[in-house]
Chain A
């Protein structure tokens, strides 16, 4: 069964600190993996998309990594800011399934001043 699991469920860190969020998936055959940021009361917004051949992709202070062999991805946030407080969702797409994505439950990140 295609699944995406994220850890931790929630995380609290101090402003200015770094953190890493994890995503494990069992989707096969793999097409691509995306990270979304969802602010409270808002729709998700795309941060990065990675295909099978990409190991790392950055978007400002956000860096996503992908290990297709172990089926793991991580999202690293550097020098966190209060505005980083949000849910971060990992989404995986299978080949030949352009319309349907497998969504993780998300990690709720809280940045404290």
Chain B
């Protein structure tokens, strides 16, 4: 079974703090993704990575950065957290290109006070 794990299920941070969200997958997948999910909206892509050290901006990259130093690990960084970044953050991985399914982690619910 594919397993995608995220470092925290719940996180509370203060405005201006630097926040790291970690995601690890154990299936040697090429592609990894970070989304945020807000009530009443579809998932929105923040960043994705199709290979180690490679990254591409998604639909809403402002205020975020990412790091992929190893194939299995994809980190999302909030350089200076703001209250409008309070959200559910979902990490996903996928084997390669084409119509492969994305496999999701359990999510991290981040609250910025």
Residues of A within 8 A of B (CB): 4, 31-32, 34, 41-46, 49, 51, 89, 93, 98-106
Contact of B105 among A43, A98, A102 (CB under 8 A): A43
Q: Closest CB of chain B to A11's CB: distance in Å?
A: 16
A104–B37 Cα gap in the complex (Å)? 11
Flag whether B41 is at the interface (Cβ < 8 A): yes
Cβ-defined contact, B98 with A34, below 8 A: no
Q: Please give, as numbers and ranges, the residues of chain A lying within 8 Å of B98 by CB-CB distance.
A: 98
Q: Is the CB of B45 within 8 A of A104?
A: no
Contacts of A41 in B (CB 8 A): 9, 106-107
Minimum CB–CB distance from A82 to chain B (whole Å) comes to: 21
A102 to B102, CA, bound (A): 13
> Once A and B bind, how many residue pairs between them come within 8 Å at the CB atom?
54
Please tell me if the beta carbons of B107 and A42 are within 8 angstroms of each other in the complex. Answer: yes
B residues apposed to A, CB below 8 Å: 4, 9, 31, 33, 40-45, 48, 50, 56, 58-59, 90-92, 97-99, 101-107
For the residues of A in contact with B, the DSSP-based class is: strand
Which of these, A31, A32, A34, A102, contacts B42 with CB under 8 Å? Answer: A102
Q: How far is the CB of B42 from chain A (nearest CB, A)?
A: 3
- Are B104 and A99 neighbours in the complex by a CB distance under 8 Å? no
